[in-house]
Homo-oligomer: A and B are copies of this chain.
């Protein structure tokens, strides 16, 4: 459907526009080394490309800008592998070489590097720790009315919530409950804790604790999984450097959206194993109309546990960003696996 020359021209226009953010004219394309045709020829092809919906004009006698469809084609068919520059490589290396002890630390670092190397904003979800297994639970009373439940998993993840203490609980029972929980629930994945509570612990509890109903619901509360996954951002303010966001209203819409954690979550969560690229209006949310989002999952022991992503203007350096997200999701998975493996 498109001739090779048309593809070449389209590619040139896209890459020029990604660079300059200005409508691209036939003359400037003709000056490139890879292009040997005259402006007039290019104009003809441009007209065709416009007819096919790959190019747009900002007004009747302006240069062309790539359409969303063009970016899609570019990403799907025209993209060359990207070679990282020396300092970029160093930056990435140092992330994975460092002595990282905690998953959350690794995730935050990744968000930082992503945004630093791209000058766009990065979003990192997770890691979900639902799969990791209970290593130890500790319930520490804080005064008469409350207690802190601390859960430590085999991945070194610590979760804690404060729970109201039922007044009927007798002295010493708390310790007893803790012992029972540790004995019965150790090694159970977090997401199964509540279920296991009923299947494994309930009856034992009945035997040892006086007001067993209250104790059970108290324990259930203590094991409740934290409702929201964590979201980390990096370089939000990078977006303000992009010319497409010199308009405050647009920036506001974007930044406000990013505060809505559940929305961001819905948006990035459907990233299937591998990489997802959403260009412009492919993002359902209106505030992302002029943005592209590139996201990839990272995993622990082969199972996806989180998502890393980049948000930038549709005019994004796709080749660089795609490589980078790819690389980092892979590298982050490795780091997490290393952290995890120390358990065995």
Q: Which residues in A have some Cβ–Cβ distance to B below 8 Å?
A: 99, 101-102, 135-136, 138, 140, 142-146, 148, 150, 152, 154-156, 158, 160-164, 236-237, 240-241, 245-248, 251-252, 255-256, 259, 341-344
Contact = CB atoms under 8 A, between A and B. Distances in A.
Nearest to A136: B140
A155 B241 CA distance: 44
Nearest to A105: B162
Contacts of A236: 255, 259
A6 to B, nearest CB: 37
Given A101-B164, A135-B142, A150-B158, 19 more contacts: A101-B163, A102-B162, A135-B140, A136-B140, A138-B138, A138-B150, A140-B152, A143-B341, A143-B343, A146-B342, A148-B156, A150-B160, A236-B255, A236-B259, A237-B252, A237-B259, A240-B248, A240-B251, A241-B252
Nearest to A255: B237
Given A252-B237, A255-B236, A142 B155 contact: yes
Given A142-B156, A146-B156, A162 B256 contact: no
A256 B238 CA distance: 9
17 contacts: A101-B164, A135-B142, A138-B138, A142-B343, A143-B344, A146-B342, A148-B156, A148-B158, A150-B150, A150-B152, A150-B160, A236-B259, A237-B252, A240-B251, A240-B255, A248-B248, A251-B251
A255 B251 CA distance: 12
A206 to B, nearest CB: 27
A215 B102 CA distance: 21
Nearest to A340: B143
A258 to B, nearest CB: 9
B152 A162 contact: no
A251 B136 CA distance: 46
A241 B252 CA distance: 8
A330 to B, nearest CB: 23
A343 B164 CA distance: 13
Nearest to A246: B248
A236 B155 CA distance: 34
Nearest to A233: B259
A152 to B, nearest CB: 5
Contacts of A164: 99, 101
Contacts of A150: 138, 150, 152, 158, 160
A148 B101 CA distance: 10
A136 B152 CA distance: 15
Nearest to A160: B158
A251 to B, nearest CB: 7
A259 B238 CA distance: 12
Most buried by B among A237, A247, A255: A237
